[in-house]
Amino acid sequence: MCVARLYRRSQISCSVPTLQLVCLFAVLTATIAAVGGCNLPPFRILTPKEQSRITKGPFLLRLSEHRAAIMWETNSEGPFTVSYGRDEKLGQQINTKPDRVEYSLPRSRETLFIHKVWLENLQPGQVYYYRVMARETESMLCTFKTPGTDADEVRFAVYGDCRSNPRMHRKIVERIIERDADFVVISGDLVTDGGNYEQWGVQFFGPLKGLAESTPVYALKGNHDKSKQNYFERLLVPPGQTANFSFDYGPVHFFCADNYSGTEIQVLPLIGADMGGSASPWKFVSYHVPSLNFGGHWSNWGYPSALPTLSKAGIDFAMAGHSHQYERFRPVAPPSDADGSYVTYITSGGAGAGLHGVERSVYHAYAKKIHHFCLFDINRDKLTMKAIDANGEVIDQLWVNKAGGRLNNEYLQTAVPMEAVRAYQDSHRK
Ligand SMILES: [Fe+2]
Ligand SMILES: [Fe+2]
């Protein structure tokens, strides 16, 4: 670690004995910089304003027509406030009761404070301004726009497994920023080790800067995100919610499930009950461990119940990660003896972690070992999906539409029987 950084962290006052120490540090700093050993900023004593910092966020955790959940983290103890309003005067304020996090680094012990609040009684389809506070400092002025009640268009991105490679994660985020998505869903494995608090800043919050202040990022829990300290829940689950939740945005109803902590016996009924209460024309579910996956981990979460349950629930797209690849399956037809939807399963686990191969099969529409994300554009009954790589190149595209709640015949003619997919899955089950 650079000498200057060590000094900044220590935040010592300038008494006479320590002044000698400071001089020694300054000489040392200049010497190291002169020989090119460390790219150091100019040496100076930090002001109180600089010492108090917002260390994560602000981060938009949830957004609906009438409320928004915001998270941020400070290095100084609160309570602090978020100020917000329909204009830059920020006429409303909410105080927070922060959650204190203590963790160890190799040479120090760190204490940080997580703040999470709901902004209530918002108006649909309106731009809101907000600013979060730390002691003697504050964030930049941020904005978000609530969904309109009659919105019939939406654009959103889905990706997974951004862990372990923050540079790749950042490239993916930059491609998403260019495309101006309304929301983002990340299907888990956000960091290499969920119990290592440093990684949450480096691998997750850092790469999402410039996006998550104004665009809601719905993060799901993967197997790498678990920790006995519950860092995932403390950072990313708003007050009063759990890691299983749903939301609406225009023509889309989206259920996000924690299928790593929960078994299929617990999670599948949640999905069924939630979808049964939605009249949205497009229904999505996302969870970490795929129910169809040929390659990588060869996952088959929920076998044998998941496929018929999701079809019965009327799901259109099931988005998962865990295996680090892109694979889009042909639509899976409902069971031959039951009604249900044709479900398109996509494994999109390539936003950072080391890639896995895919075993292409007749059940795939397209599959590739590549870092990427998925971008959906829905305008009423029309849906476009593009899989886009880290350089912005489109690697796969899908166009479908619905009439009377039924997908177009050209797409349905490409469907595969559920019984055949399950037999193939069974023959490869570990
Ligand atoms: Fe993974
Ligand atoms: Fe995973």
Alpha-carbon torsion (310, 311, 315, 316), positive or negative: positive
Q: For residue 322, how far is its CA from the centre of ligand 2 (angstroms)?
A: 4
Whether 38 has a pLDDT exceeding 60, the answer reads no
In the prediction, which pLDDT does 18 show?
Answer: 41
In the prediction, which pLDDT does 426 show?
Answer: 86
Whether 25 has a pLDDT exceeding 70, the answer reads no
Closest ligand to C-alpha of residue 356 is 1
Q: For residue 222, how far is its CA from the centre of ligand 2 (angstroms)?
A: 5
Q: For residue 172, how far is its CA from the centre of ligand 2 (angstroms)?
A: 18
Q: Which domains does the chain possess? A: 3-46 (no CATH), 53-145 (2.60.40.10), 153-427 (3.60.21.10)
Closest ligand to C-alpha of residue 225 is 2
Q: For residue 256, how far is its CA from the centre of ligand 1 (angstroms)?
A: 17
Closest ligand to C-alpha of residue 301 is 2
Q: For residue 181, how far is its CA from the centre of ligand 1 (angstroms)?
A: 24
Q: Are 353 and 189 in contact (CB under 8 A)?
A: yes
| Whole-angstrom distance, CA of residue 60 vs CA of residue 160 | 18
Q: pLDDT of 168-219, one tens digit each?
A: 999 999 999 999 999 999 999 999 999 999 999 999 999 999 999 999 999 9
Task: Tell me the average pLDDT across 58-65.
Answer: 98
Whether 27 has a pLDDT exceeding 80, the answer reads no
Q: Given strand 54-63, what is the order of strands in its sheet?
A: 54-63, 68-74, 108-119, 99-105
Least confident of 45-54, 121-130, 140-149: 45-54
In the prediction, which pLDDT does 44 show?
Answer: 52
Residue 134's pLDDT band, with cuts at 50, 70 and 90, is confident
Q: pTM here?
A: 0.88
Residue 32's pLDDT band, with cuts at 50, 70 and 90, is very low
Residue 77's pLDDT band, with cuts at 50, 70 and 90, is confident
Per the listing, tokens 């075993």 go with 359
Q: pLDDT of 214-235, one tens digit each?
A: 999 999 999 999 999 999 999 9
Reported as type and span, the H/E element at residue 316 is: none
Whether 254 has a pLDDT exceeding 50, the answer reads yes
In the prediction, which pLDDT does 430 show?
Answer: 61
Whether 298 has a pLDDT exceeding 60, the answer reads yes
Hey, what are 165's tokens?
A: 């490679």
Q: For residue 354, how far is its CA from the centre of ligand 1 (angstroms)?
A: 9
In the prediction, which pLDDT does 186 show?
Answer: 98
Residue 48's pLDDT band, with cuts at 50, 70 and 90, is low
| Whole-angstrom distance, CA of residue 403 vs CA of residue 387 | 25
> Omega into 304 within 30° of 0, i.e. cis?
yes
Residue 43's pLDDT band, with cuts at 50, 70 and 90, is low
In the prediction, which pLDDT does 106 show?
Answer: 85
